[in-house]
Each structure stands twice: as structure tokens, then as C-alpha cells.
Structure 1
């Protein structure tokens, strides 16, 4: 009987150890997934910085184009070509940003399954909340991305039109109006994305605070 009790105690100890290992493994999996998401997010931030720099350069060129007017066509044509190159460069960077966000989104889908295995109820609930906020944020980014791509397309058409010596003032104004309207749409989508990002950052801080 003594030996049987020893075996029973030993089995209980093993089960407790395995349970503890499972708990640690689940937490480690979730932490690792959130770290991957942070890496993708940082890549997106880097692309955004480059986009901002290119946008500032392009805005300066646009102001110069408007100051010359079509009467100084040679200067307008050259600056429009330079602006077109910037549009194409911006397109490359926004695609890299989009790719990073898509990678983060795939990771957030994967981590959602792992979160259910967390033993601590408070951590599990906060992690689920964080995931829900981030999913909505990525949906908002999808809208922002589409608006930005449309903006680039309209800007491209404008700079091509500015290289046409026979373009009429009416044609140019219509295209400028299209760009301005799309810019308003873009601003609205960007504001919503910023709001979602602020909510996400707060939820992430709460999760890490609980986890300590």
C-alpha cells in the first residue's frame, strides 16, 4: 500500500508539472505571437515614415507647379515628371506597408486560437479584447489602403495631364477636384485608423500590466 501511495503521489506530481508546463507553453506561444505582430507593426511604421517624407517632397513640387502655371510649360512638365516618379515610389512603399499589416493580421488570426488555452482568466479576457480591437483596426487599415491607392491613381493621372501641353484649364481643374475629394476621404479613413490605434495601444498596455 505504501508503494501504491508513492506511485499515486508521484503521478500527481507529474500531472501538476505537466499542467504547469502547459500553462507556461500557452503563455509563451501567445507572447511570441504578439512579439511577431509587433515586429510587423514596426515594419509598417518604417514604411509610413518613408511615405511621409515622399509626400512632403511631392507637396513642395506641387506648390512649385501651381506657382508656374501652364504658361511656363517646360518647367511644369519637368516637375510633373519628378512628381510622377515620387507617386510611383510611394506606391512601392505603401505596398510594403500593406504586406506588413497583412502579415500581422494573419498572426492575429493564429494567436486567437492560442489565447483560449491561457489559464489566467483576466489575462485571457484582456488578450481576447486586444485581439478584437486589433482585428477592427486592420479592417480600418484595409479601407485606408484602398483610399490611398485611389489617391495615388488620381495623382498619377493629374501629373500625366500636366505633361500635356494641350490640356485645358477645365480638364486640369476637374482632375484637381477629383484629387481633393479623394484626399478628404483619405483623411477620414486615416483619422479612424488613428483612433483604433490609440485604443489598441491602451489595451496592449493593460494586457502587459496584468501579465507582469
Structure 2
């Protein structure tokens, strides 16, 4: 090999080495955190898509419940028909709630990657902002677990109630007891949902603060 070809070959290797090093340069912790947080947004897209349909089903079911209460047992056949319609809606609500929860679980899986990133942030104030954001989000996931548990309990109680409506010889005391039980469950749902929404709002605020301090732009 001539000296010219030899040096030319070495030069090409050096150029390729520089290019490869540039391509494999590790991202800064801020950039890694940004990637995780934006993936969390995408993971919760399905969760967001369930909100309006779920509320619509709840309102429709409430309308059927009101009709049943107004009819009284004299219209037994109509009550059975309406109860069956309500039971279908309960199953549909369960499907949407499961989709919502699966989306939140996927979000949590993505967000868990932030645990190893946040402690690598060099700026103390930025690291504190990341820790605050992380803690709030983890509390939010716990709040949704609670909401999911209580909501499923309510769905079971709903089904029991509509089956009871179809029992022509059902004692009034048993029906009243079930209605009271259901009302208590929905109070717990309301409180759990309020807590979840509050933590969601707090997380979004802390996320925007982190982005601002890190000089990042949010896509949402």
C-alpha cells in the first residue's frame, strides 16, 4: 500500500470515528426527561378519549334510573325492560373504565423511567423541580388506583340494584338499603375523582415549571 493510500485510509477512519461519536453522544438528563414526559402524554391519549363517552353513558343510565323510580312496581314489564337496558350500559361503562385504566398504567410504566433520570440533573433547583413533579405524579397514579377500585365497586352495586328492580317480590327495605349503599359509593367516587383531578392539575403545573427552568418547550 502506498503512503498516500495509507494516509487516505487513516483519514477516512478518523472522519467516520468523529461522525460515529457525534451520533452516539449521550443525551443530557434534561433531554431524556423531556422524552419520557412527552411519551407519557401519548400514553394517556386513550385515557382522555374515554372521558366524554363515559360521562355520556353515566347520564344515560341516570335517566333510566329516574324513569324506573317514577314508574313504580305497577309498570313491572317496563321496569324489567329499562333495567336490562341499564345493565348493558353498566357493562359499557366497565369497558371504558378498563380502557382508561390501561392507559394510565401505560403512562405509569413510561413515567417510571424518570426515576433514574431526575437524580442525574446537575442543577439543584432543576433537580428539586423534577422531584416535586415526580412525587406529585406518583400520588396521582395512586389516586387513580383508588378511583378505579371505588368505581368498580359502584358498577357491581349498580348491577345488583337493577337485578333487584326485576324482582317483583323484592322487599322495599332491601331496595332502600341497596340505594343507600350505592349513594355512599358514589360519594366516594366523587371525592376520589376530585383528588385525582387536583393532582392532575398540580402535576401539569409542576411539569410546565420544570420545562421552563430546563428551557424546554411542551408539545401540549
TM-score (norm 2): 0.82
| 1:135 match | 138
Q: Among 90, 93, 102, which residue is 2:96 paired with?
A: 93
Q: Among 52, 58, 62, which residue is 1:59 paired with?
A: 62
Decide whether the 8 Å contact of 2:30 with 2:214 is kept in 1.
no
Partners in 2 of 1:127 and 1:72 — Cα distance?
60
| 2:190 match | 187
| 2:78 match | 75
RMSD of equivalent CA atoms? 1.9
| 1:7 match | none
Report the alpha carbon displacement of residue 209 of structure 1 after superposing the two structures with TM.
1.6
Aligned length: 195
Q: Encode CA deviations 1:114-152: one digit per residue, 9 max, x unaligned.
A: 222334443332122111100011111111111101000
Partners in 2 of 1:195 and 1:116 — Cα distance?
26
Q: Structure 1 or 2: larger helix share?
A: 1
| 2:53 match | 50
Q: Among 118, 139, 150, which residue is 1:147 paired with?
A: 150
Report the alpha carbon displacement of residue 111 of structure 1 after superposing the two structures with TM.
1.6
Report the alpha carbon displacement of residue 42 of structure 1 after superposing the two structures with TM.
2.5
The answer to whether structure 1 residue 39 and structure 2 residue 42 are counterparts is yes
| 1:159 match | 162
Partners in 2 of 1:170 and 1:84 — Cα distance?
22
Report the alpha carbon displacement of residue 108 of structure 1 after superposing the two structures with TM.
1.8
Q: Among 109, 112, 126, which residue is 1:123 paired with?
A: 126
**Partner SS state of residue 167, structure 1:** coil
The answer to whether structure 1 residue 197 and structure 2 residue 200 are counterparts is yes
